[in-house]
Amino acid sequence: MQSILKRTMFYILFIGIWEGLFRLGIWPEYVLPSPVSVFKTLVHGFQNHTFLIGIAISMKRIAIGYGISIVVGIFLGLLIGRVRLFEETLGSFFTGLQTLPTICWLPLSLLWFGLNDRSIIFLVFMGAVLSITIATDAGVKSVPSLYIRAAKTMGAKGWKLYLEVIIPAALPHIITGMKQGWSFAWRSLMAGELLIVCLGLGHLMMIGRELNDMSQVIAVMIVIIIIGILVDRLFFVKVEQRIRERWGLVKG
């Protein structure tokens, strides 16, 4: 209760100072718009559907790119985690690649796919895939051999052993990797949309810039922050916690 009160006070104060600075009139409106006009732009943007369309387009891109990265990442993680040869080769290669900021894939992506959707999707994919691969690898390695032996005596072998035992047993790690992968993917999506002109939330911000409409820029920033919080806090953190509890990794 205390903390909610403090937080509310903080935001009221924050907006108050912002409004105060605006009223002082030191900066022109395209540098510092008032909170009210930002709020109006926000409402207006949702009313005329431009924000909704922007969100839909961005979400579609991340769904495709992130979806592919989950499948590929888990597959590669299993390979590295279970096959010595891949561990010794691909393993270190991927750990090295992960130090490369995702946006550095942009020039390559542009040359491969051109200035279009697929380029952005590739960036999203590259943003998430390494995190998921590395987390799956760690998860597979931490699967208790007891589970595998128990499953084997009950007749599990081949791909069924992977599907029924190894992947579910590694799930707490995989989810953590997916959570991290999501935040990387979200960042690369925005970077891609800012640099490649083809709709989406990032593009809406660029339109704001071109029209000298700072309130639109800030309004879209707020939308991006809110989506980030919704997915990370309300989805991933909850799911992660539930799984860890059920897998007996935290004492309930």
Partner 1 sequence: MTESVGTENFVDIDQVKVGKELQASQRVNGVWPKLRVQHVSKSFQSKDRNFYVLEDINLEIQQGEFVCIVGPSGCGKTTLLNIVAGLEKADSGDVWADDHKINGAGTDRVVIFQEAALFPWLNVVKNVEFGLKLKGFNGKERRNIAIEYLKMVHLSKFQHAQVHELSGGMKQRVAIARALAMNPEMLLMDEPFSALDAQTRWILHYELQNIWLKTRKTILFVTHNIREAVCLADRIIILSTAPGKIKKEFLVELPRPRDDNDVNVAGYSTRIMKELKAEINKVMKCEMDADSCVECDIKCTTEGPAKTDIGGGI
Q: H helices within 83-166, ranges in order?
A: 84-86, 92-97, 106-113, 117-141, 145-153, 159-161
Q: In whole angstroms, what separates CA 115 from the centre of its chain?
A: 22
Q: How far is CA 20 from CA 8, 13, 23, 35, in A?
A: 18, 10, 5, 10
C-beta of 15: minimal distance to partner 1 in Å?
Answer: 45
Q: How many CB atoms lie within 10 A of CB 188?
A: 26
Beta-strand ranges (E) seen in 117-216 are none
Residues at the interface with partner 1 (CB under 8 A): 146-147, 149-156, 160, 164-165, 168-169, 171, 245-248, 252
C-beta of 173: minimal distance to partner 1 in Å?
Answer: 13
C-beta of 54: minimal distance to partner 1 in Å?
Answer: 38
Nearer to partner 1 by Cβ, of 169 and 204: the residue is: 169
Q: Which of 252, 94, 227, 239 is nearest to 179 (CA)?
A: 239
Q: Give backbone dihedrals phi and psi of 142, rounded to 5 degrees, phi first.
A: -95, 5
Q: How many CB atoms lie within 10 A of CB 8?
A: 10
Nearer to partner 1 by Cβ, of 74 and 165: the residue is: 165
C-beta of 88: minimal distance to partner 1 in Å?
Answer: 22
Nearer to partner 1 by Cβ, of 161 and 194: the residue is: 161
Which residue type occupies 250?
A: V
Nearer to partner 1 by Cβ, of 2 and 153: the residue is: 153
C-beta of 249: minimal distance to partner 1 in Å?
Answer: 9
Nearer to partner 1 by Cβ, of 25 and 252: the residue is: 252
Nearer to partner 1 by Cβ, of 120 and 167: the residue is: 167
C-beta of 145: minimal distance to partner 1 in Å?
Answer: 10
